[in-house]
Amino acid sequence: MAEKRAPNWEDFEMKENTTQDGPAFYDTSDTIPIIPKAAEKDEIPDGGLVGWYQVLGSFFLFFNTWGIINSFGVFQTYYGDQLASEASASAISWIGSLQGALLFSMGIIVGPLFDWGYLRSLLLAGSSLLVFGMIMASVCTHYWQAMLTQGLLVGIGCGCLFVPSIAILPMYFKKKKALAVGVAAAGSSLGGIVFTIVFRQLQPKIGFGWATRIIAIIMMVTLTVPAAGMKMRTRPATRRQIFDAAAWKEAPYTLFNIAFIFLLMGIYVPFFYLQKYARDFIDPDLASYLLVILNAGSFFGRILPNFLADKTGVFNILIPSSFIAAFLGYMWIDIRNTAGLVVFAAIYGFFSGTLLSLPPTALVTLSPNLSSVGVRLGMNTFVGSIGLAIGNPIAGAILRFGWVKVQAYGASCVVLGTMFLIATRVAKAGWDVRTKF
């Protein structure tokens, strides 16, 4: 019988509180316990009760972050009609664009903080700012107040929550990674539906203030789910850089970021302006529900294509979906009746949902290892914030020249994004469409 020996310190990895392993101070509630080195070699569980709880937590993070951004079209219409009627459509759209830009741009800071183990701190800070921002927005009476509260405070809160909602899932899923991300991302569509209906139904009855406060209450309740049980499975052993210059020397990564900018410049144009456009042609009450239909289509577009992406490859789903979304954007130019607008909203919502849910999984595919995902996702979202920040204000400025110019602008941006997605795939996997990538 082999002689048993007592374990020595070489069998274990110490998580020391040193500057080489992260900040000299960190949230002790997120500290990873000392574990045998052999445990690092354990396979990613690809599910399990704890794994799917992370998906549920991410679902509600998407619900409250992207959900409020996806529902901004109803605020855009209200602000244009009442709160900030003196402001242009372009100026009002800066409120929603600032939300999205901060959600993305803060990734360059939040990504490393996540890697260092500050998950709970990020969840607490982001949830507090999100709820507080909406409560303060409920008492706004001027445009600049809405910009500071719903734009700045809510945007920063969203920025604290977005990277954790994505970066935690690859720790628990490998083969089902795209499906897990798709299910989580579907929360953004459900949030867009819920917040749009709540505001649309309650604002005429109880006023803007209480309608917005009820949205804040919904946020506060649903954000307790991720706060209660989301936790990191592993944490990188070395301190992560905020900027990884080596990543930009890889052609696929650089091309993908360029594609991401153009996609975000164009894909959200219908989310911000479809309701305003439809009021010129159909019943205003029905027009207000087109945003709900958009988000409903997006809900399914975030799940089914992601399921297929696990089997056929992320880019093999992402590129056709982008092409179809661009084609639908051009079709929108000639749609001026109820049936056509409803069908357009449903189908465009489906394919736009695919474009907004698959990029994080595509980024993981382009990364050499999981330890580099945090910083690369942070840089990607920071770059993407440029497109999200300027896309809809540009569309609002173009609106003075007519709706056709706005619609063509949005679709053309998506076309450019599609071209760079194709270039990314070719640079990484070649021209053979049969290759799973």
Structure tokens at 317: 């789903």
31 — pLDDT class (breaks 50, 70, 90): very low
10 — pLDDT class (breaks 50, 70, 90): very low
Determine which of 49-63, 172-186, 262-276, 332-346 has the lowest per-residue pLDDT on average: 172-186
Query: Measured at the alpha carbon of residue 388, what is the angle toward residues 178 and 373, in degrees to the nearest 5?
Result: 40
Angle between helices 290-301 and 269-278 (to 10 degrees): 150
Task: Give the up-direction half-sphere exposure of residue 195: CA atoms within 13 A in the CB hemisphere.
Answer: 30
Determine which of 141-150, 158-167, 339-348, 376-385 has the lowest per-residue pLDDT on average: 376-385
Q: Which of 237, 239, 257 is nearest to 247 (CA)?
A: 257
Average pLDDT over residues 401-413: 94
pLDDT tens-digit series, residues 290-309? 888 998 888 888 878 877 77
Q: Which of 161, 152, 174 is nearest to 63 (CA)?
A: 161
Average pLDDT over residues 240-265: 87
Return the top range by mean pLDDT from 68-82, 86-100, 171-185, 314-328.
314-328
Q: Reduced to 3 states, what is the DSSP secondary structure of residue 379?
A: helix
Q: How far is C-alpha 409 from the chain's CA centre?
A: 22
Q: Reduced to 3 states, what is the DSSP secondary structure of residue 131?
A: helix
Rounded Cα distance between 413 and 410, Å, is 5
Determine which of 24-33, 218-227, 377-386 has the lowest per-residue pLDDT on average: 24-33
Per-residue b or e along 237-275, where b marks 16 or more CB atoms closer than 10 Å to that residue's CB: eeebeeebeebeebebbbbbbbbbbbbbbbbbbbbbbbb
User: How high is the pLDDT of residue 351?
Assistant: 92
User: How high is the pLDDT of residue 237?
Assistant: 59
User: How high is the pLDDT of residue 370?
Assistant: 65
The answer to whether 218 touches 194, Cβ cutoff 8 Å, is yes
User: How high is the pLDDT of residue 41?
Assistant: 45
Question: CB-based burial of residue 312 (10 Å sphere; 0-12 exposed, 13-18 middle, 19+ buried)?
Answer: middle
353: pLDDT strictly greater than 90? no
Determine which of 81-85, 208-212, 309-313 has the lowest per-residue pLDDT on average: 81-85
User: How high is the pLDDT of residue 239?
Assistant: 60
Average pLDDT over residues 128-151: 92
User: How high is the pLDDT of residue 26?
Assistant: 36
Structure tokens at 389: 């920040």
Average pLDDT over residues 316-320: 91
User: How high is the pLDDT of residue 122?
Assistant: 94
For 195, residues 6+ apart whose C-beta sits below 8 A from its C-beta are 67, 68, 70, 71, 74, 215, 218
Structure tokens at 259: 């594609």
User: How high is the pLDDT of residue 437?
Assistant: 65
Q: How far is C-alpha 175 from the chain's CA centre?
A: 22
Average pLDDT over residues 413-435: 87
Higher local confidence (pLDDT), 1 or 377 = 377
Cross-strand bridge partners of residue 35: 13
Backbone angles phi, psi at 244, to 5 degrees: -115, 95
User: How high is the pLDDT of residue 430?
Assistant: 77
Per-residue b or e along 21-45, where b marks 16 or more CB atoms closer than 10 Å to that residue's CB: bbeeebbeebeeeeeeeeeeeeebe
User: How high is the pLDDT of residue 35?
Assistant: 37
131: pLDDT strictly greater than 90? yes
What's 145's DSSP letter?
Answer: H
User: How high is the pLDDT of residue 361?
Assistant: 79
7: pLDDT strictly greater than 70? no
Q: Which of 326, 192, 305 is nearest to 259 (CA)?
A: 326
**Amino acid occupying residue 347:** I
| pTM to 2 decimal places | 0.76
